Amino acid sequence: MMPTCGPKNPPMPTSAPVDGDDQPAMVATSCLINNYNYASYLAEAIDSALGQSVPFDEIIVVDDGSTDGSADLVADRYGSEPRVRLIRKTNGGQLSCFNAGFEASRGDLLFFLDADDRYESRHLEQSLDRYARHPASDVVFCGYQTFGTHSQRRIRYRQDRELGCGVAYTLEYGRAIGNPTSCLSFRRRRLERMLPLPLEEDWYIRADDCLLLGAALAGGCKLFMAETLVNYRLHEANNLYGSRPDALARYRHEVACRRVIGHYAAQFNLCRSRVLPLAHHEFTTCRHPDVRLLRHYIKLAWRAPLPVLRRGRMIGQMLRHWMACRPRGQASTRVGTRP
């Protein structure tokens, strides 16, 4: 793979505060755009990253062996833009793009963008604000607006919500809470524990599931930002949105997810018998849990390999936390957990 646009190792400026001290630390930000044969949309994605009210320090476009002239478009149109870097690679799928983009990046905060989507102009500004006000958060994700074949606002809650950690939840249920790729951002310290992930052959598409599963199992805390700051394009080439995969595709995806979970469980030395007894502590890391999450964690507590009395105490602690943090309500356009 070879960078073909922008200097090979340009100096990395520090442009934005992300903690709330009187003299806040300055951090660098990276936008990682993954592209495969989306030449007709790619310029809109790059322009949306360049047009942020607070500028990205670097924008890395990873071209996954496109055959439609995508890479040449980037080189020709953005060759004089020092913040844009192009990485050409042979086709290997979305996860391989994530791995390559991460290894080439130097930002402290990393934002992922699909080449057919685009950011609202205040996406980075608002995300930096949340990272500054919630220094324990390792993952910040936002709502999105679909456009193209039809338009719909997709937002999980009406207000920002700290969703805490999800090690036991993900290990037991094989799911993680989050939104599509273009809504996701991560602190580098968390991604360094997760990437590169050597399962690229399983993840030509839907590799955002790997990011969400890995962040949960790595102990990352998630924050939902209740603003619609991403435009998610619907078009004839969308692989998933609005369609229902057949039984074979669903089965293969579930197997792939289990392989990711198994990989990270071994890497982080996670064992069900040691993790489930901590489910009540994990539940209290969520500042405003809803009743659906409460039900999931009660089941986790009941499955813990502990005496009945201990499990009852765990459930009691979770109920007290839930009562003390009564959620203020959630949007009717709730997005389900992923994957």
Same domain, 180 and 284: no
More confident residue, 338 or 145: 145
Three-state secondary structure of 175-214: CECCCCHHHEEEEHHHHCCCCCCCCHHHCCCCCHHHHHHH
Same domain, 289 and 216: no
Residue-level pLDDT at 15? 55
Same domain, 300 and 218: no
The SS3 of residue 62 is strand
Same domain, 156 and 238: yes
Whether residue 159 lies inside any domain: the answer is yes
Lowest average pLDDT, out of 3-7, 194-198, 330-334, goes to: 330-334
Residue-level pLDDT at 242? 56
Residue-level pLDDT at 321? 97
Which residue blocks in the chain are alpha helix, DSSP H?
39-50, 70-78, 94-104, 123-133, 167-173, 188-191, 208-217, 247-267, 272-275, 279-283, 291-303, 308-324
Same domain, 123 and 140: yes
Length of the chain: 339
User: Which of 248, 267, 286 corresponds to the end of one domain?
Assistant: 267
Whether residue 238 lies inside any domain: the answer is yes
Same domain, 154 and 303: no
| Structural domains in the chain (count) | 2
Q: Which of 49, 79, 74, 54 is closest to 64 using CA atoms?
A: 74
Residue-level pLDDT at 235? 84
Whether residue 329 lies inside any domain: the answer is no
CA distance 185 to 31: 9
Same domain, 59 and 123: yes
Whether residue 336 lies inside any domain: the answer is no
Of the chain, the percentage scoring pLDDT greater than 70 comes to 87
Whether residue 334 lies inside any domain: the answer is no
Q: What pTM, to 2 d.p., does this model score?
A: 0.89
Of the chain, the percentage scoring pLDDT greater than 90 comes to 80
Region 127-135: what's the mean pLDDT?
97
pLDDT(9) > 80: no
Q: How far is CA 175 from the centre of its chain?
A: 13
Same domain, 116 and 220: yes
More confident residue, 241 or 227: 227
CA-based end-to-end distance of the chain: 30
Q: Which of 91, 34, 42, 48 is closest to 66 using CA atoms?
A: 91
Residue-level pLDDT at 239? 59
Same domain, 206 and 244: yes
Instruction: Kindly indicate the confidence band of residue 107, based on its pLDDT and cuts at 50, 70 and 90.
Output: very high
Q: Is 108 in contact with 15 (CB distance < 8 Å)?
A: no
Region 150-160: what's the mean pLDDT?
88
Tokens representing 145? 């607006």
Whether residue 333 lies inside any domain: the answer is no
Give me the residues paired with residue 109 across strands: 29, 187
The SS3 of residue 268 is coil
Q: Which of 297, 294, 295 is closest to 326 using CA atoms?
A: 294
Could you list the residue range(s) of the whole structural domain that residue 312 is in?
272-324
